[in-house]
Structure 1
Amino acid sequence: MSPDARLPQPTVCFTGLGLLLTLVPTGLGMEVMAPPIISALNGTSVKLSCTFNSCYKVENKQFSLNWTYQECKNCSEELFLQFRMKIMNKQLDRFGNRVEFTGNPTKYDVSFTLNNVQLEDEGTYNCYVLNPPDRQRGHASISLKVLTEGRCRALPGPCCLGQAASALTRCPLSPEPPKRDSTVAVIVGASVGGFLAVVILVLMVVKCVRRKKQQRLNTDDQKTEEDEGKTDGEGNPDEGTK
Structure 2
Amino acid sequence: MAHSSRVTPPAGRPSGDLLHVTVGLALLLGVWSVGALEVSTGKVSFIEAMNGSTVLLPCTYSSCIGIKNLYFNWHYNDNGTMNKLCEAVIPVEGVEPNKVSVFHDRVDFVGSSKTQNISILLWNITFEDQGQYICFAKNPKEKNRNHSAIFTLYVVEQMREVDNTLTVIIVSALGGVIGLVVLVMVIKAVVVHFLHKDDEKNKECLVSSSGNDNTENGLPGAKGGDTNKATPKA
Q: TM-score, normalised by structure 2?
A: 0.54
Equivalent-residue separation in structure 2 for 1:69 and 1:86 (angstroms): 23
Give 2:126's aligned amino acid.
Answer: Q
CA contact (8 A) 1:130 1:137 kept: yes
Q: Secondary structure at the match of 2:22?
A: helix
Letter in 1 for 2:25: L
Aligned partner letter, 2:6? D
> Cα RMSD (Å) of the superposition?
3.1
CA distance in 2, matches of 1:87, 1:132: 18
1:71 offset after TM fit, Å?
2.2
Runs of 5+ consecutive residues of structure 2 not aligned to the other structure: 90-96, 166-234
CA–CA separation in structure 2 for the residues paired with 1:50 and 1:141 = 9
2:154 aligned residue (121, 145, 159):
145
State the 1:2 CA deviation: 5.0
Helix, strand or coil at the partner of 2:36: coil
For 1:126 and 1:20, how far apart are their aligned partners in 2?
35
Is the contact between residue 102 and residue 108 of structure 2 (CA under 8 Å) also seen in structure 1? Answer: no
What are the Cα deviations for residues 143-192 of structure 1, in whole angstroms up to 9, with x where unaligned?
Answer: 1011113xx2xx233xxxxxxxxxxxxxxxx8x88xxxxxxxxxxxxxxx
Q: What's 1:233 paired with?
A: none
Could you tell me which amino acid in structure 2 is paired with residue 40 of structure 1? A
Cα distance between partner residues in 1 of 2:151 and 2:8: 59
Distance 1:82 1:89, change over 3 A: same
The yes-or-no answer on 1:79 pairing with 2:84 is yes
Amino acid at match of 1:140: A
> 1:89 aligned to 69, 79, 101, which one?
101
Question: Match for residue 39 of structure 1?
Answer: 48
Greater C-alpha radius of gyration = 2
Q: Distance in 1 between matches of 2:88 and 2:10?
A: 52
In structure 1, runs of 5+ residues without a counterpart are 158-173, 178-242
Look up the match of 1:99: 107
Letter in 2 for 1:83: A
Deviation string for 1:180-224 (max 9, x for gaps)? xxxxxxxxxxxxxxxxxxxxxxxxxxxxxxxxxxxxxxxxxxxxx
Structure 2 letter corresponding to 1:81: C
Tell me the matched-pair count: 148
Whether 2:132 is the aligned partner of 1:124: answer yes
Post-superposition shift, 1:7? 8.0
Q: Is the 8 A contact 1:32 1:51 kept in 2?
A: yes
Residue 203 of structure 2 corresponds to which residue in structure 1? none
- Which position in structure 2 is the counterpart of 1:111? 119
> Match of 1:5?
7
**Same amino acid, percent of matched pairs:** 24
Match of residue 66 from structure 1: 73
What SS does the aligned partner of 1:146 have?
Answer: strand
Shift of 1:106: 2.9
* Counterparts of 1:115 and 1:107, CA distance in 2: 23
Distance in 1, matches of 2:67 and 2:112, equals: 10
How far apart are residue 99 of structure 1 and its match?
0.4
Report deviation, 1:22.
Answer: 2.8
Could you tell me which amino acid in structure 2 is paired with residue 66 of structure 1? Answer: N
Q: Distance in 1 between matches of 2:152 and 2:124?
A: 17
Are the structure 2 counterparts of residues 117 and 7 from structure 1 closer, same or farther at C-alpha, using a change threshold of 3 Å?
closer
Q: Which structure is higher in strand share? A: 2
Q: Which has the higher contact order (CA 8 A, sep 6+)?
A: 1
Q: 1:58 to 1:20 in 2, by over 3 A?
A: closer
For 2:77 and 2:51, the matched residues in 1 are separated by 19
